Amino acid sequence: KLPTDCPPDVAQLGRSSWTLLHSITAQYPENPSPEKQSETRTFMQTFAKLYPCWHCAGDFQEWMKNGNAPRVSSRDEFGRWMCEAHNAVNVKLGKKEFDCGRWEERWRTGWKDGRCDF
C-alpha cells in the first residue's frame, strides 16, 4: 500500500473516485429537474472518457454503452445505477458484489446498526 502523499495507484484512485461518485448520488435530488438530469448524464459520459486509468475508462464506457446508460430520474435510481456500475467492476476484479438495496446506508444515512453515529 502506498503512503497517501505519493501519486495514487489504480486502487487508491478507485477508492477516492467511488467515494466522490457515490457521494454525488447521495446528494442528488429526489426529484431532479430535466436540466439536472441532463447535466448528470453529461457528467457521467465525460467522467468515463477522462478517468485517468485508461483501460478502466474504456471498460466503463463499454459497460455504459451495453444497455447501462445512466439512470438519473431520482436519487434512488441514480444511487442504484452507481452501485450496479461499481458491482460490474467488483465482478471483473473477482470481488464480492455489494447489496445495492443498502447503497443509501453506506453512502448517505449511515448503517442502521448505528456504527456511523459518533
Residues at the contact surface with ligand FAD, assessed by CB under 6 A: 10-11, 14-15, 17-18, 22, 51, 55-56, 59-60, 83, 86-87, 89-90, 93, 98, 103, 106
Nearer to ligand FAD, 35 or 46 (CB): 46
Question: CA 32 to CA 21: how far, in whole Å?
Answer: 17
> Which residues are CB-neighbours of 19 under 8 A, at least 6 positions away?
none
Cβ 33 to ligand FAD shortest distance, Å: 25
Closest to ligand FAD by CB, 18 vs 74, is 18
Which secondary structure element, helix H or strand E, spans residue 79, and what is its range? helix 75-92
Closest CB to ligand FAD: residue number: 14
Q: What is the DSSP letter of 2?
A: -
